[in-house]
Structure 1
Amino acid sequence: MDYDTFIDQVARRTRTSADRAAALTTAALETLAERLTGGEVLDLAAQVPRPLQDVLKPSPRTEWAERFGAAEFVARVGQRAGVDENAARDGTRAVFTTLREAITAGEFDDVVSQLPRDYRAMVEPAMAPGAALRNGA
């Protein structure tokens, strides 16, 4: 999947502009990079469109995953994207669903395996059979 298609899918799923979808995508991936180990961030970066790879660059301080729950994840996305909690939650779900389509199933499973159970409400819609069809793709 290329960058424009990725952003278009997030925009459709969130029913928002491409600019807002790009901000949500960047915010969600930056936050995800903080939540994953450095090696997993590199693995994920290898499978996303080129402009998004720059968002997923681990630094020495991100070799270890930060420990924070789903509510903190959504709060960080909202702060970075400049949106309220509901928009951040919807955007995060849209990014996870689009990410699931853009990368291999094995890599998506590796990403999800590093997230605690309280992330299920954001991640499980992306894993459900037919998720792309239900979300307007």
Structure 2
Amino acid sequence: MKRYRFSIILTLALIGLSFIALPIIGIIFGTPLASIKTAFFDREIINSIVLTITAGILSTAIGLLIGIPLAYLIVFKNFKGKKFIESIIDIPVMIPHTAAGIALLTIFGTRGYLGKFFSIFGVRFVGTMAGIVIGMM
């Protein structure tokens, strides 16, 4: 019975893996090498990759600077509002990414509450590094 269960799990895992691997393999072998080479040396693509990596590093650093002390407080300290903070931390897991993106754009956009407030000081979020970092967090 265990062997039968293992073979079912293995089959389902291979089917699931094929949904990820086959499109990637199709792109790699279906695209001419000259097109891939052109894409890798295109200045806009290089700038996009650098922007994404930089924003990812900044977002990770900010997340660590906020997350580690917050995790320490939640685990080792008892304080009023602890359950509320735990609930707030769980929200990004429950909200779909599209809805979160629309919410962030509504809040930080040029017509959003925080977008209007920060525009007084010349800070913009849409299409900037700050907006990308906030979106990644």
Query: For the superposition of Structure 1 and Structure 2, which TM-score range results when normalised by the shorter chain?
Result: under 0.3
Higher relative contact order (CA 8 A, sep 6+): 1
Compare the two structures and name the one with the higher helix fraction.
2
User: What TM-score does the superposition give when structure 2 sets the normalisation length?
Assistant: 0.23
TM-score, normalising length from structure 1?
0.23
| Structure number with larger C-alpha Rg | 2
